[in-house]
C-alpha cells in the first residue's frame, strides 16, 4: 500500500466536493422519523444473532473457555490471518488487472471476456476445490488429457488457488466499475506534464482506485476468513476447521461459539484495517464529463493480456465446467440415474430472490440516512451492516436457531427467518451499489420536488428511488448470486422439506454421488449466468461502497 500522505493531494479534485451538498434543511436534520423506524427494525434483526451469541457466551462452560486459550488457537489464528492476507493479495492483483484490461484498453471481445471473467463468482468455493482436486494429480483429468503428470493440488497451494478463484470476481466487478468513472482529465494532465504511462497508472490511476480496491479486497478477505468447505477439502488447516470440529463432534455447542468469537474479532480487525486505508470514498461520486480514455495496447501487451485472461478463465470457469460435465457424462453413460432437482431449483430461486428483495428494500433507508443525513448514528448504522457481513455463517446460524427456538417459536424453522438472515448477512452487498447510485443524484432534485409540494415520502418514492433503480438492481443481483451459493446457514435454518441447489451439491458430493452433484452444480451455474451477465456488462451500477 502507498503511504497515506500520497493520496491526499489528489483525493479531492477541484469540482468534486467531499460530501454531496444537501439543502440547508437536510444538513441540519436527522432525517424523517419513518426512515429511522425502518432502520431500527433492521437493526433489531441484525441484533438478534449478535445478542444471542453474547448470551451463549455467558452460558459457556469453563472447558469451552479453556479451548480458547491454547497455543493451538494462537498458532491457527496466525496461520489463518496470513492465509487470508495472501488470498486477498492475489485476488486483488487478478481482479484489478482484469478490470483494467477490460475497462480501459482496446483489447478485443471485452464484453464476452468480462462475462467469462466474472462468472467464477457463481461457483461455490467447495465446488472449485473438489474440481481442482479431481483435475490435478497423476490420475487426474488434466493428466489424462495432456499426458503430463501433475502433482496433487492440495494443502496450501490448492486452498490458495481455490479461494483466489472464488474471490477475485468481487474485486473485479467493483474495480471495473470504479475505472469507468475515473475522470480522464487527471490522467491527461499527468501525461501532459511528461509522466510515462506506467507512472500515470501508479501515481494517478491506482490511488483513485484505492476505495474500490479496498472494498473488493474486504469482500475477498471476509469470504476467505469464514470459508470452511474449500479449505477443509484441500486439507489446509485454518480456524474454521476447529470451529466445525467442535460443532460437529459435540452435543455441547458452547465451545464452537466461544471459538467463533475469535473469528469475529479477526473480521473486525480486517474491517478496521480497510477503513483506515480507504479515504472517504467519494472520488467517483460524480459522473465525469467524458468517458475515460482508452489505452492502446502494443501487440506484445495484447498477447500478454489475452494470455492472462485466458489462463484465469480456464482455471476459474472452463475447468470446473469441464470436470462437472465429465462427471455427468461418465455417470450417464454408465447408467446412473440423474434427476433434475426441481425442488432445489425452486428453493434456491425462492430463497435467493426474496433475500435480494428484502436486502434492497432495507438498503434504501440506510443509504438515504447515511448520504443525505450524515450523523454519527447513520454512520454507525452503515457500519453495522458490514459487521453482519463479516460474521461466519455457521455462527450466525447457531445463534439464530438458539434464539428462535426459545423466543420466537412461531417463526422457528420458517422461510421468513431464513430470508431475513440471508438479507441481513448480505445487506452490505446491496448498500454498496445503492450508496453509489444515490451519491450521483443531485439533492437539488429532492429539494425541487419538496418545493413543489410533495411530501418527503412521496419524493423518495417518486424521485429518489426510481433514480437509484440501477444501483438497487445491481445490489439485488449481487445478493441473489451470493445467497444462491450459501450453505452453512441454509442447512441449519431452512424449513423442514426445503432444499436448495447448494445443499444438494454438497450432500451429493458428500456421498460420492458425483454424477448427481455435477448435474446440480451445472444447473446452479446456468441459473446464475443471467444475473452475472448483467453485472459484468453494467459494472458502472455495481460501484462499491
Partner 1 sequence: MRRLLVAGAVLALAATACSSSDDRSLTVYSGRSEELIQPLIDRFEEETGISVTVRYAGSADLAATILEEGSSSPADVFLAQDPASLGTVATAELFTPLSEEQRSRVPSRFSDPDGYWLGISGRARVVVYDSTNVDPSELPQTEDGFTDPSWSGRVGIAPTNGSFLAFVSAKILLDGRDATLAWLEGMAENQSPTFPKNSAIVTAVNDGQVDTGLANHYYLLRALAEDPEVPGRNHFFAIATAGSLVMPAGVGILASSERTDEADAFVDFLVDDASQRYFAEETFEYPLVPGVPADDRLPPIETIPTPDLDLSLLATTLDEATDLVAEAGLL
* Angle made by CA atoms 381, 384, 389, in degrees to the nearest 5: 140
With a CB cutoff of 8 Å and minimum separation 6, the contacts of 9 are none
| Residue tagged 423466543 (cell numbers) | 407
* Residue 242 touching partner 1 (CB under 8 A): yes
Copy the grid coordinates of residue 459: 419524493
SS (H, E, C) 459-516: HHHHHHHHHCHHHHHHHHHHHHHHHHHCCHHHHHHCCCCCCCHHHHHHHHHHCCCHHH
Minimal distance, residue 27 CB to partner 1, in Å: 41
Residue of the chain from 51, 72, 293, 375 that contacts partner 1 (CB under 8 A): 72
DSSP state of 109: T
Nearer to partner 1, 100 or 247 (CB): 247
Cα radius of gyration rounded to whole Å, the chain: 24
Minimal distance, residue 316 CB to partner 1, in Å: 22
What is the C-alpha separation between 141 and 139, in angstroms, rounded? 7
* Residue 250 touching partner 1 (CB under 8 A): yes
Given the rule CB under 8 A, which of 8-16, 228-236, 457-465, 524-532 is the region that contacts partner 1? Answer: 228-236
Minimal distance, residue 51 CB to partner 1, in Å: 17
* Residue 139 touching partner 1 (CB under 8 A): yes
* Torsions phi, psi for 295 (to 5 deg): -90, 125
Nearer to partner 1, 418 or 545 (CB): 418
Given the rule CB under 8 A, which of 97-105, 201-209, 323-331, 433-441 is the region that contacts partner 1? Answer: 323-331
Minimal distance, residue 137 CB to partner 1, in Å: 5
Among 171, 154, 136, CA closest to 230: 154
What is the C-alpha separation between 545 and 540, in angstroms, rounded? 13
End-to-end CA distance of the chain: 19
DSSP per-residue letters across 417-450? HHHHHHHHHHHHHHHHHHHHHHHTS-HHHHHHHH
Residue of the chain from 124, 140, 207, 365 that contacts partner 1 (CB under 8 A): 140
DSSP per-residue letters across 156-185? HHHHHHHHHHHHHHHHHHHHHHHHHHS-HH
* Residue 3 touching partner 1 (CB under 8 A): no
Residue of the chain from 74, 314, 336, 448 that contacts partner 1 (CB under 8 A): 336
Minimal distance, residue 232 CB to partner 1, in Å: 4
Minimal distance, residue 134 CB to partner 1, in Å: 8
Minimal distance, residue 326 CB to partner 1, in Å: 11
Nearer to partner 1, 73 or 275 (CB): 73
* Residue 516 touching partner 1 (CB under 8 A): yes
Given the rule CB under 8 A, which of 6-14, 179-187, 325-333, 429-437 is the region that contacts partner 1? Answer: 325-333
Nearer to partner 1, 299 or 497 (CB): 497
What is the C-alpha separation between 343 and 413, in angstroms, rounded? 18
Residue of the chain from 39, 67, 224, 254 that contacts partner 1 (CB under 8 A): 67
**Which residues sit at the interface with partner 1, rule CB under 8 A?**
67, 72, 133-134, 137-140, 152, 154, 232-233, 235, 241-242, 244-253, 327, 330-331, 334, 336, 401-402, 405, 409, 413, 491-492, 494, 496-497, 499, 503-504, 507-516
Amino acid at each position: 500500500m502507498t503511504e497515506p500522505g500520497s493520496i491526499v493531494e489528489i483525493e479531492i479534485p477541484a469540482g468534486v466536493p467531499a460530501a454531496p451538498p444537501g439543502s440547508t434543511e437536510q444538513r441540519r436534520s436527522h432525517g424523517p422519523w419513518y426512515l429511522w423506524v425502518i432502520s431500527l427494525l433492521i437493526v433489531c434483526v441484525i441484533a438478534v444473532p449478535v445478542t444471542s451469541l453474547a448470551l451463549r457466551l455467558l452460558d459457556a462452560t469453563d472447558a469451552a473457555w479453556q479451548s480458547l486459550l491454547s497455543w493451538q488457537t494462537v498458532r491457527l489464528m496466525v496461520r489463518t490471518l496470513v492465509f487470508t492476507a495472501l488470498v486477498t493479495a492475489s485476488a486483488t492483483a487478478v481482479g484489478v488487472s482484469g478490470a483494467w484490461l477490460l475497462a480501459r484498453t482496446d483489447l478485443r471481445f471485452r464484453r464476452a471476456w468480462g462475462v467469462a471473467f466474472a462468472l467464477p463468482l457463481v461457483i461455490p468455493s467447495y465446488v472449485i476445490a473438489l474440481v481442482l482436486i479431481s483435475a490435478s494429480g497423476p490420475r487426474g483429468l488434466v493428466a489424462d488429457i495432456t499426458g503430463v503428470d501433475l502433482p496433487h493440488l492440495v494443502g496450501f497451494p490448492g486452498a490458495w488457488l481455490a479461494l483466489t478463484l472464488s474471490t477475485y470476481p468481487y474485486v473485479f466487478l467493483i474495480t471495473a466499475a470504479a475505472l469507468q468513472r475515473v475522470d480522464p482529465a487527471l490522467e491527461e494532465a499527468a501525461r501532459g506534464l511528461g509522466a510515462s504511462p506506467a507512472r500515470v497508472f501508479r501515481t494517478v490511476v491506482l490511488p483513485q482506485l484505492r476505495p474500490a480496491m479496498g472494498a473488493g479486497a474486504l469482500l475477498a478477505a471476509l469470504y476467505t476468513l469464514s470459508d470452511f468447505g474449500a479449505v477443509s477439502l484441500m486439507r489446509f488447516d485454518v480456524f474454521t476447521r476447529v470451529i466445525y470440529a467442535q460443532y460437529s463432534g459435540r452435543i455441547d455447542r458452547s465451545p464452537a461459539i466461544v471459538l467463533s468469537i475469535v473469528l469475529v474479532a479477526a473480521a473486525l480487525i480486517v474491517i478496521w484495517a480497510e477503513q483506515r486505508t480507504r479515504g472517504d470514498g467519494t472520488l467517483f461520486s460524480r459522473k465525469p464529463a467524458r468517458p475515460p480514455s482508452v489505452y492502446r495496447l502494443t501487440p506484445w501487451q495484447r498477447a500478454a493480456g489475452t494470455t492472462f485472461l485466458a489462463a484465469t478463465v480456464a482455471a476459474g470457469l472452463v475447468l470446473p465446467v469441464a470436470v462437472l460435465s465429465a462427471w455427468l457424462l461418465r455417470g450417464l453413460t454408465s447408467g446412473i440415474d440423474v434427476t433434475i432437482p426441481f425442488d432445489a431449483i425452486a428453493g434456491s430461486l425462492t430463497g435467493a430472490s426474496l433475500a435480494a428483495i428484502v436486502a434492497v428494500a432495507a438498503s434504501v433507508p440506510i443509504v438515504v440516512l447515511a448520504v443525505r443525513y450524515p450523523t454519527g448514528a447513520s454512520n454507525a448504522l452503515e457500519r453495522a451492516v458490514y459487521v453482519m457481513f463479516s460474521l461466519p455463517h455457521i455462527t450466525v446460524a447457531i445463534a439464530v436457531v438458539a434464539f428462535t427456538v426459545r423466543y420466537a417459536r412461531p417463526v422457528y424453522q420458517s422461510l421468513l427467518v431464513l430470508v431475513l438472515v440471508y438479507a441481513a448477512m448480505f445487506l452490505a452487498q446491496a448498500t454498496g451499489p445503492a450508496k453509489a447510485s444515490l451519491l450521483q443524484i443531485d439533492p437539488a432534485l429532492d429539494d425541487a420536488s419538496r418545493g413543489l409540494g410533495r411530501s418527503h415520502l412521496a419524493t423518495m418514492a417518486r424521485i429518489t428511488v426510481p433514480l437509484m433503480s440501477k444501483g438497487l438492481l445491481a445490489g439485488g443481483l449481487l445478493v441473489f448470486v451470493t445467497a444462491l451459493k450459501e450453505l452453512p446457514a441454509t442447512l441449519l435454518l431452512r424449513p423442514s422439506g426445503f432444499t436448495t441447489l447448494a445443499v444438494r451439491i454438497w450432500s451429493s458430493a458428500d456421498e460420492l454421488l458425483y454424477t448427481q452433484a455435477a448435474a446440480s452444480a451445472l444447473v446452479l451455474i446456468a441459473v446464475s449466468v443471467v444475473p452475472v451477465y448483467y453485472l459484468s456488462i453494467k459494472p458502472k451500477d455495481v460501484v462499491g461502497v
